[in-house]
Chains A and B, each alone.
Chain A
Amino acid sequence: MTSNQSDEPPSPAVLIVDGDIVSRHVIADYLRHCGYAVVEAASSAEAMIALREPTLSIDVILCEVTVVGTQGCFELASWVRANRPELEVKLAGGVEMAAQTAAELCESGPHLKRPYEPSAVIDYVKQLRASRPL
């Protein structure tokens, strides 16, 4: 959960919206490693549920632009501007841009450091995708 029982302030939370489980999870883990709370949505519809859920605290949205759903990232960004203008929306086209955006978030994140280089993220996603045929 993004709430925190201790006196420490809660970790800033990133909502990652990506229809590819491999890239979504690898990027999400990367962000968790540098101290963010992360919420994973597989579609824009799931992202909307997250954004409307009062117990879920979101600070930044990272949306992969090919995401499926009734709304794509651009429509999601428009909705956020109109309804949740305090939220930052970062659009990423492909895993390379998503990894770089995640790395930039880590630069200013709770731990102020990257867990590893974004190139390792990209390489790992490519490796996992290549290994998919069982």
Chain B
Amino acid sequence: MNSNTMSPEGSPSGRLRQSILVVEDEFLIRWMLSEELRSAGYHVIEACDASEALSAMKAVRPDLVISDVRMPGPLDGLDLLAWVKENLGALPMIIISDHLHPEQALVDGAVQFVAKPYRFDTVLEAVANGLAGKL
């Protein structure tokens, strides 16, 4: 059983794909980003807010997290980043935001910052960098 997927038998080919947790409350943005990442070959877990992301990460550990900052509920993306740094310190995390200053996210511990609106190529490059930094 793969420890970093939410599938009892991993990918259909048996090859272990790198797993990305996407945390975004805007449904269509999350859907498009997740589908683009799946097309690029990643295994994607979709969370609609930080609370769902915590539930997912307490069950399985992804290889990388991409999170928006502003989300409904008691926790935002920076709270999630703080939780990751405290509990899963080596886990790379990309922060996506339309209002945050890049330096704030990076000081708080994100490995990459991507400003909204973004090109998918930019996110894909940030994902590759984040995963490479982990290896």
Determine if B58 and A132 form an interchain contact, defined as CB atoms under 8 angstroms apart: yes
Chain A 75-131 interface residues, beta-carbon cutoff 8 Å to B = 115-116, 120-121, 123-124, 128-129, 131
A40 at the interface (CB under 8 A from B): yes
Q: How far is the CA of A42 from the CA of B59 in the complex (A)?
A: 17
Query: What number of residue pairs across chains A and B have CB atoms under 8 A from each other?
Result: 71
Give A133 Cβ to nearest chain B Cβ, in Å. Answer: 7
Quick one: closest A residue to B5, CB to CB?
A: A29
- Quick check: B87 and A40 within 8 Å, CB to CB? no
> Looking at chain A, what size class is its interface with the partner chain?
20 to 34
Given A42-B52, A49-B27, A49-B28: A121 touches B8 (CB 8 Å cut-off): yes
A contact residues around B8 at 8 Å (CB): 26, 116, 120-121, 123-124
Query: A30 within 8 Å of B by Cβ?
Result: yes
In the bound complex, CA of A83 to CA of B35 (Å): 27
With A41-B27, A46-B27 already in contact, the answer to whether A26 and B7 are too (CB < 8 A) is yes
The segment out of B43-51, B93-101, B109-117 that lies at the interface is: B43-51
The range of chain B's interface size is 20 to 34
* Contact present for B58 and A133 (CB under 8 Å): yes
Does the CB pair A42–B48 fall under 8 Å? yes
B27 contacts A50, CB within 8 Å?
yes
Query: By the criterion CB–CB under 8 Å, are B28 and A21 in contact?
Result: no
A121–B12 Cα distance when bound, in Å, is: 14
Contact residues, B1-57 vs A (CB, 8 A) = 1, 5-9, 12, 27-28, 31-32, 34-35, 39, 45-48, 52, 55-56
Query: Hey, which chain B residues are within 8 Å of A60, CB to CB?
Result: none
Within 8 A of B (CB), among A40-94: 40-43, 46, 49-50, 53, 56
| Interface: B60 (CB within 8 A) | yes
The 5 closest A-B pairs by CB, nearest first: A42-B48, A128-B59, A124-B8, A132-B58, A29-B7
Residues of A within 8 A of B (CB): 1, 20-22, 25-26, 29-30, 33, 39-43, 46, 49-50, 53, 56, 115-116, 120-121, 123-124, 128-129, 131-134
Q: A116-B9, A124-B1, A129-B59 are in contact. List 16 more A-B contacts (CB 8 A).
A: A1-B39, A21-B48, A25-B6, A26-B8, A29-B5, A33-B7, A40-B34, A41-B27, A46-B48, A115-B9, A120-B8, A128-B59, A131-B59, A133-B58, A134-B58, A134-B87
Query: Taking beta carbons and an 8 Å cutoff, which residues of B are in contact with A?
Result: 1, 5-9, 12, 27-28, 31-32, 34-35, 39, 45-48, 52, 55-56, 58-60, 87
